[in-house]
Homo-oligomer: A and B are copies of this chain.
Amino acid sequence: MEKQKQTAILLAHCPDKQGILAAMTNFINVNKGNIVYLDQHVDYEQNTFFTRIEWDLTDFIIPKEKIIDYFHTLFGMTYEMDFNIYFSDVKPRMAIFVSKMSHCLFDILSRYTAGELNVEIPMIVSNHPDLKWVGDRFGIPFHVFPITKENKAEQEAAEMELLKGENVDFIVLARYMQIISEDMIREYPNKIINIHHSFLPAFVGAKPYHAAYERGVKIIGATSHYVTTELDAGPIIEQDVVRVTHKDTVKSFIHKGRDLEQIVLSRAVEKHIDRKVLAYKNKTVVFA
């Protein structure tokens, strides 16, 4: 494989003003940064400007460790810009939370193993030991935290300690089947990705396939979203659907949905890893 050039990635949003984009691209250009990706979006209703810019650092004049400072001074303050800068040589660290179903976990690990995800996976966490063998097969530490009503708070506290100890950046709920408590959600704002097996906002909550079957829909869906304290109501990252007919049953809904769930979750995870998702006011900008 060709050697990847080291790049910096800017994800930013701010009130829209004339000249922002020009100012930033100029700044990068004059400092000999070669822009390899640029996308921008203006929400005219919210008067908000969003951008993702990625540039090659090979000849960039400003030292890597000072880039954030420069952007803070030049743009953050001038334009009231919220921004993050990531470097392509720093892989984000992802924890996968699972319960008993393996398909989403397998799909992620299959991509990871094939070198398609620029991420590190220091752990799989579960409330059941059922999928420990998968962690073993792929050589990823598997931690079991059995959760009951009584011990939920302390188990989550233990989980968070583990996550911090391993410098986990974000969490993927790969059909985890447990509601995450508010404390944990607040610790990882827009950093917990869930897959819900319905076309949200239809069929919030438990047993969405049963509810969809009951309603007689002709299409079922799956939705990946960031977890917020309101159940199944966080910013949507990706959705997809598949057609069903009167011949389908709850069982075949589950079966067809399985493919949807894993593909919708994996697409969202990949976009997140690639720093292409910007959550804003309970929506997402997902750059192409």
A-side interface residues toward B, CB under 8 Å? 18-19, 21-22, 25-26, 29, 34-36, 38, 40-45, 50, 101-103, 106-107, 110-111, 113-114, 116, 137-138, 199-203, 215-219, 221, 235-241, 243, 245-247, 249, 255, 258-259, 263, 266, 282-286, 288
**Besides A107-B107, A218-B236, 10 new A-B residue pairs in contact (Cβ under 8 A), listed by A number:** A26-B26, A106-B110, A116-B258, A200-B215, A200-B217, A201-B215, A216-B283, A219-B221, A246-B286, A259-B263
Complex Cα distance, B200 from A110, in Å, reads 27
For A21, give its contact among B25, B103, B245, B246 (CB under 8 Å): B25
CB distance from A121 to the nearest CB of B (A): 16
Chain B: CB-nearest residue to A285: B246
Complex Cα distance, B107 from A107, in Å, reads 7
CB distance from A197 to the nearest CB of B (A): 15
Residues of B near A138 (CB, < 8 A) are 137
User: Is B284's CB under 8 angstroms from A216's CB?
Assistant: yes
CB distance from A22 to the nearest CB of B (A): 4
Interface centre among A38, A42, A217 (most CB of B within 10 A): A217
Complex Cα distance, B246 from A236, in Å, reads 11
Residues of B near A243 (CB, < 8 A) are 243
For A255, give its contact among B34, B116, B255 (CB under 8 Å): B116
Complex Cα distance, B103 from A36, in Å, reads 28
User: Is A236's CB under 8 angstroms from B263's CB?
Assistant: no
Residues of B near A199 (CB, < 8 A) are 199, 202, 219, 221
For A263, give its contact among B29, B34, B263 (CB under 8 Å): B263
Known: A216-B235, A239-B218. A18 touches B34 (CB 8 A): yes
User: Is B239's CB under 8 angstroms from A219's CB?
Assistant: yes
Residues of B near A43 (CB, < 8 A) are 246
